[in-house]
Chain A
Amino acid sequence: MKLLHKLATASTILMLSSAALAVDIKPAVVFDMGGKFDKSFNQGVYDGVERFKTETGISYREFEVTNEAQREQAIRKMAQRGLSPIIGVGFAQGPAIEKVASEYPNLKFTIIDSVVDLPNVQSVVFKEHEGSFLVGILAAMSSKTGKVGYIGGMDIPMIRAFGCGYAQGVKMADPSIEVIQNMTGTTPTAWNDPGRGAELSRGQFDRGVDIIYAAAGGTGVGVYQAAKDAGKMAIGVDSNQNHIHPGTMLTSMLKRVDVAAYNSYKAAYEGNWKAGIHVLGLKEDGVGWALDEHNASMITDAMKAKVEQARADVISGKIKVHDYRSNNACDI
């Protein structure tokens, strides 16, 4: 018993001494309405902070908001307890982060998908249109019918930017291909409506589409199922969803929110956390396309060469992918 006690003390001291190298942080995260298990955006952040937790043993405080007023409340509660860095998930938390961060200038805040211009806020935004551009090329090269589809979640500018980048990729690969776009809905339920996703997919298949890119959170699950049932193809989004239906999933457009969340904690832990705007595009590996054992057979060498060439061109600036959000229009 005594030995056990000693061992425990020793290991505690050992742990403390190794932690002393790093900064002692008490991180927190405020998930948004989708909830941390939305199989998409929020879950990406969840994966990132969980990875930090398993690597360092530092646990984090979390909250999932259920209405508009709770965002500010939750972030302020985290701040009142001196937690830092505090991650706000999603653009909807931008105003709340802005308000609380100016009240607590000594704490660190990270906002994902929005820009807050304060000296203690790290804003992480993604060039989703660049990643969508690449999967658009892959879609165009895989289509046999000359028609490809896009199904967005809730009809907001960001989701239109996904669709706009995708359409540009399709048109670059083959200008004759038609892109059919649908939005799932106009309320947040559009993020989690697999039934409607499947219905829209069947509609697009009937119109001759043979591959659909879904940027719709949980709704995408229905799109992929419908594609599998109809023997067509689909493209996943946010995290690598290739494994869901191997043979049906052509690829996934990766948006590495997990990396963004993990990096924020990790940097604070190592003492080199920096405020400012972090724009993550193809160049920064913040977005990309997924190639693994589940879809390797569907991606030909020609497709791979073409998409990698396009990727290099976007990074070098030779190709400019238009961002819908820059002028609220998609002129291609």
Chain B
Amino acid sequence: MSDLLQPLPRWIDVGVIPVLNVSMAMIVSSILLLVVGIEPVEAVTIMLHGAFGYDEGIGYTLYYATNFVFTGLAVAIAFHAGLFNIGGEGQAYIGGLGVGLAMLLLDSSMPAFLLLPIALIMAALFGGAWALIPAYLQAYRGSHIVITTIMFNFIASAIMVYLMVNVLIMPGQQSPQTREFAESAQLPFMHEVFAWFGVNISQSPLNLSIVWAVICCIGLWLFIWRSRWGYETRAVGFNEKAAVYGGINPKRVVLISMCISGALAGFVGFNEISGVHHRLILNFTAGYGFTGIAVSLMGRNHPVGIVLASLLFGMLYQGGAELAFEVPTVTREMVVAIQGFVILFSGALAYMSTPFLTRLYNRWK
């Protein structure tokens, strides 16, 4: 029966289904809010206003979105090669380590126009190298990449704690953090950039790395759909055996796509360390690597979709914080629950409504 049905057109798949999924998440969240005794409409208004209603809120939303774009793109490129990179968290962590080490070493002797590109390259190099090891193990030793990347998250965390507690810590200091980088190693905040042009906006962690995130989106689109390597990547992702028949070396594809994936995740370190904290600290990745998986799934592994999904998750993070701040009865656990519903419906249950919609579409067509 169902094989007689026509598949859904693209506009429903990428347009209607995500909206439907978010709506379902919102309905379930509303029930949760009602149970606790909060007006859902009011809650959503607060969230939207907190995320997009004033310049500081927009700044935070875009700052979160920047991280999600990096990790979302990282998951997407691996996904196109048929790989599931769960190691974004660790790759971002190590990418940040690369940035931190380079800046601590060089910031006294170099000007900003040299330091910032170095930071960018270090983030990519370290993040990419951290992904290369699981990629090698997958390609040449058959260790499954899901397992190895998860384990590499823990190794990254352990390395960072060891270095921060024993080696890099600023002496006479309670919390494990390094000294602050020199001014020249700090990526300008957007409120500083705007101030150069005489425009005053409120402070937020949003910095110039958002420009780099946009460049990465365009670059990844060109790579996947307009380059030979991208073609090879997609070929391996669709059908590895067919790709081999077509003269493609899947081992090489695994290595290249994972390195790019790791480098993209590493840019979270660039955003956080060069752009926001200006020093190496622990746990700056804050789960962005894992959320990137949901972002990529929701964005259908396409840069445009990832940007939209990142904005949604940025809104959830910033609006959620605003909600917890404004309404004392909303605990942070409830905010996490609402975020969880969105991830559940748009990530894990992404195609739940497809069979139903397909039947509906075929009847009304």
Seen from chain A, the residues whose Cβ lies within 8 Å of a Cβ on chain B are 35, 61-64, 66-70, 72-74, 76-77, 91-92, 94-95, 113-114, 125, 154-158, 186-188, 325-326, 328
Q: Establish whether residues B174 and A67, one from each chain, have CB atoms under 8 Å apart when the complex forms.
A: no
Residues 266-280 of chain B, each 1 if its beta carbon lies under 8 Å from chain A, else 0: 000000100011000
User: Which B residues from 175 to 207 make CB contacts under 8 A with A?
Assistant: 175-177, 203, 205
B94 CB to nearest chain A CB (Å): 14
Residues of A within 8 A of B332 (CB): 35, 64, 66
Q: Which residues of B contact A326 (CB under 8 A)?
A: 172
CB-based contact B174/A114 at 8 Å = yes
Among B70-78, B107-115, B161-169, the one that faces the other chain is B161-169
List the A side residues contacting B160 at CB < 8 Å.
Answer: 186
**Contacting residues, chain B, for A94 (C-beta < 8 A):** 174-175
- Is B142 among interface residues, defined by CB-CB distance under 8 A? no
A186 contacts B284, C-beta separation under 8 Å: no
Chain B: which residue is nearest A92 at the CB level?
B175
Smallest CB-CB separation from B57: which chain A residue?
A: A73
Q: Are B60 and A157 in contact (CB-based, < 8 A)?
A: no
CB pair A328–B169 under 8 Å, yes or no, is yes
| CB-CB nearest in chain B for A77 | B325
* Chain B residues in the interface with A (C-beta under 8 A): 60, 63-64, 157-158, 160-162, 165, 169, 171-177, 203, 205, 272, 276-277, 281, 283-284, 286-287, 317, 321, 324-325, 328, 331-332, 335-336
Q: How far is the CB of B255 from chain A (nearest CB, A)?
A: 29
17 contacts between A and B (CB under 8 A): A66-B321, A67-B287, A67-B317, A68-B281, A68-B284, A69-B60, A69-B205, A70-B321, A73-B321, A74-B325, A94-B174, A114-B174, A125-B174, A156-B175, A157-B165, A157-B169, A328-B169
- Is there contact, CB below 8 Å, between A157 and B176? yes
| With A68-B284, A69-B60, A187-B161 as contacts: A158 and B174 at CB distance below 8 Å | yes
For B321, the chain A residues whose CB sits under 8 A away are: 66, 70, 73-74
The docked-state distance in angstroms from the alpha carbon of A70 to that of B174 is: 20
A328:B171 contact, CB within 8 angstroms? yes
A51→B60 CA distance, assembly (Å): 34
Which residue among B177, B317, B324 has the maximum number of chain A CB atoms within 10 Å of its CB? B324
Q: In the complex, A158→B175 CA distance in Å? A: 8
B176 touches A156 (CB 8 A): yes
- Residue in B162, B169, B174, B287 whose Cβ sees the most chain A Cβ within 10 Å: B174
Query: Considering the chains assembled together, what is the distance between the CA atoms of A64 and B332 in angstroms?
Result: 7
Total contacts A-B at CB 8 Å = 73
Chain A residues, CB < 8 A from B328? 61-62
Q: Known contacts A113-B174, A157-B176; is A186 also within 8 Å of B286 by CB?
A: no
Whether A156 contacts B60 by the Cβ 8 Å rule is no
Closest to A64 in B: B332
Q: Nearest CB to that of B59 among chain A residues?
A: A73
With known contacts A73-B60, A77-B325, A186–B331 Cβ distance under 8 A: no
Across-interface contacts of B276 in A (CB, < 8 A)? 69
Q: Which of A69, A114, A157 has the most CB of B within 10 A?
A: A69
For B162, the chain A residues whose CB sits under 8 A away are: 186
Cα distance A3–B330 in the bound complex, in angstroms: 37
Contacts A66-B321, A67-B286, A69-B276 given; does A187 touch B60 at CB 8 Å: no
Q: Cβ of A125: which chain B residues have Cβ within 8 Å of it?
A: 174
Q: How far is the CB of B290 from chain A (nearest CB, A)?
A: 13
Residue of A nearest to B332 (CB): A64
Residue of B nearest to A33 (CB): B283
For B277, list chain A residues within 8 Å (CB).
Answer: 68
- Shortest distance between the CB of B277 and any CB in chain A (Å): 7
| Distance (whole angstroms) from the CB of A181 to the closest CB of chain B | 14
Report the minimal beta-carbon distance from B40 to chain A, rounded to whole angstroms.
21
Q: Is the CB of A155 within 8 A of B161?
A: yes
Give chain B nearest CB distance to A324 CB in angstroms. 11
Say yes or no: B283 contacts A187, CB within 8 Å: yes
For residue A94, give the distance in angstroms from its CB to the closest CB of chain B. 7
Q: Which of B63, B174, B325 contacts A157 (CB 8 A)?
A: B174
Bound complex: CA A70 to CA B320 (Å): 11
Which of B161, B174, B176, B331 makes the CB contact (< 8 A) with A64? Answer: B331
Inter-chain contact B286/A325, CB cutoff 8 Å? no
For A157, the chain B residues whose CB sits under 8 A away are 165, 169, 173-174, 176
- Minimum CB–CB distance from A92 to chain B (whole Å) comes to 6
Q: Give me 18 other A-B pairs in contact (C-beta within 8 A), A68-B272, A73-B60, A325-B174 excluded.
A: A62-B328, A67-B317, A68-B277, A68-B284, A69-B205, A77-B325, A94-B174, A125-B174, A154-B161, A157-B165, A157-B173, A158-B174, A186-B157, A186-B161, A186-B162, A187-B161, A326-B172, A328-B171
Query: What are the residues of chain A within 8 A of B174 when measuring CB–CB?
Result: 91, 94, 113-114, 125, 156-158, 325
Whole-angstrom CA separation of A61 from B332 in the bound complex = 14
Taken together as a complex, chains A and B put the C-alpha atoms of A326 and B162 apart, in Å, by 19
Contact check, B284 vs A63: say whether CB atoms are below 8 A apart.
no
Bound-complex Cα distance A329 to B117 (A): 37
Contact A91-B325, Cβ < 8 Å, known A68-B281, A69-B276, A186-B157: no
A183 to B104, CA, bound (A): 28
Contacts of A69 in B (CB 8 A): 60, 63-64, 205, 276, 286
CA distance A42 to B90 in the complex (A): 28
Q: Which residue of B lies closest to A115 (CB)?
A: B174
